[in-house]
Structures are given as structure tokens and as C-alpha cells.
Amino acid sequence: MENVKILEHPLLQHKISRLRDETTGTNEFRALVEEIAMLMGYEALNDLPTENVEVKTPIETCKTPMLSGRKLAVVPILRAGLGMVGGITALVPTAKIGHIGLCRNEETHQPEEYYCKLPDTIGERQVVVVDPMLATGGSAIAAINFIKKHGGKNIKFLCIIAAPEGVRVLHRSHPDVQIYVGHLDRELNEDAYICPGLGDAGDRIFGTR
Ligand code: PRP
Ligand code: URA
């Protein structure tokens, strides 16, 4: 599928396997989510524009590339997406951060919105939406609908684990959005959880339940 990239780096896969392990505790889980976000961000942002600027080294003056042009907005889907923000801002500290609060209704599996706040300049920025889990795709589609309604145009979506169903519907609803997946899992179960997955990402990041 065009605009869908499944990442395969061994370091990423190792860290995702650690996340899946039910004996991995909250502290390690949170650290892993951030590290994975950084590795995924490194890949997803490989088309950021640069321009040559003059820098004086201790040896001589040279022209050397630095980031230019379009600025970044990171938009986590609350709650679990919050765990990925630090990994991206470690790479691009000047990024603005928006928040989209969505929670899946446990019976209908549909996302319900409870909070949204985006930077005013969202339309001028490269938007990176982050959420560890892409299951039915409902949350990601709702978040991106909201971002587009507020003028967001250049959008990438980063998730650590995805179900094939989620990738399909997200791509169908937003074919212009570049989707980056850390690992494509087998399927959803009857409760719309990803199998084998890692359980409830938000609960594991924040130590709830
Ligand atoms: C999880 C996850 C995604 C969503 C994915 O969040 O972090 O946002 O489910 O499922 P979907 O693709 O079927 O919409 P959840 O609603 O459990 O909220 P939380 O992050 O607050 O735990
Ligand atoms: N949300 C999660 O946190 N995990 C899943 O498997 C599906 C949705």
C-alpha cells in the first residue's frame, strides 16, 4: 500500500518484543515506548528539508546542512500517545505539541472525544500524530479528521503496533497520510484488542488498572 511503511530495524523489533512481554514493568515499558518513538521518528522524518548554512569550525568556515523550512507539530492521541512525545521532541526540540483526547468506548469500540487543543500554526507545520496502537483505526481516523478540520495538511501517523484492519481503514479514509508501523500484528480479537499485541498500552504506560 502506498504511504504505508512497515519498519523492520532489528533494534526496533527487539524493543517491541520487550514491550509485549507481560512481565515488563511500567518503568521499563515507558522508557521503551519513548526509545521506539525516537527510532521511528528518525525514520519518518528523513525527508525534513535542510539548507546549507555557514558554520565556523575550529579549522575553517564551511557550508553545512541544518533543518530549514517547515516546522513540526507532534500530536499525541491521549493517553497512550503521550508516551511517544519525548522520543520525537528529543529529535526536534522546537516542535509544538497538540493534544487530542480520545477514549474507546469499551462496548462499541468507537472513539469518544474529551479534549482537543492544537497549535494555531498547525496548517504550516509537518504534523506527526503518535499513538502506540492502531487497532480498529477509529481513534486515528477521528484524530486526523480533527487535525484536517483545523487546517492540518502534511500529516504522518506513527504507531508501534498495528492490526491489518486498522491500517486498511486508516489508509482508505486518509490516503494522503503517511503511516509508519513498528510491527504489523496478526488480527483483532472480539474485544478489538490487537493479537498478539501488548495489552492496553495506556494502562501499561501509566501503571493503571
Ligand atoms: C487505545 C490506543 C489508541 C486506541 C486504538 O487508546 O492508545 O488510541 O486505543 O484503538 P482503535 O484503533 O480501535 O481506535 P484507549 O482508547 O484505550 O485510551 P487510552 O490511551 O486512554 O488508554
Ligand atoms: N488499544 C490498546 O491499548 N491495545 C489494543 O490492543 C487495542 C487498542
Per-residue pLDDT tens digits of the chain, which is 209 residues long: 899 999 999 999 999 999 999 999 999 999 999 999 999 999 999 999 999 999 999 999 999 999 987 799 999 999 999 999 999 999 999 999 999 999 889 899 999 999 999 999 999 999 999 999 999 999 999 999 999 999 999 999 999 999 999 999 999 999 999 999 999 999 999 999 999 999 999 999 999 98
Contact assessment for residue 195 and residue 189, using Cβ atoms and an 8 Å cutoff: yes
Which ligand sits closest to the CA of 106?
1
Q: Which is nearest to 154 in space by CA: 174, 126, 182, 180?
A: 126
Q: Is 119 helix (H, G, I), strand (E, B) or coil?
A: coil
Residue of 82, 102, 200 best suited for mutating to test ligand 2, as the one with most atoms within 8 Å of CB: 200
At residue 121, what are phi and psi to the nearest 5 degrees? -90, 25
Question: What is the 3-state secondary structure of 171-183?
Answer: HHHCCCCEEEEEE
Query: Which atom number of ligand 1 is nearest to the Cα of residue 132?
Result: 7
Which run of H or of E encompasses 90? helix 82-91
Contact assessment for residue 207 and residue 183, using Cβ atoms and an 8 Å cutoff: no
pTM, 2 dp: 0.96
| Residues tagged active-site | 104, 108, 200, 203
Q: How many CA atoms lie within 13 A of 76 on its CB side?
A: 21
The closest residue, in CA terms, to atom 15 on ligand 1 is 103
User: Helix count (H) and strand count (E) of the chain?
Assistant: 6, 13
Sketch out the chain's domains with CATH numbers: 4-206 (3.40.50.2020)
Instruction: Quote the ipTM score.
Output: 0.98
Residue of 110, 131, 133, 198 best suited for mutating to test ligand 2, as the one with most atoms within 8 Å of CB: 133
- The β-bridge relationship of strands 50-56 and 99-104 is unpaired
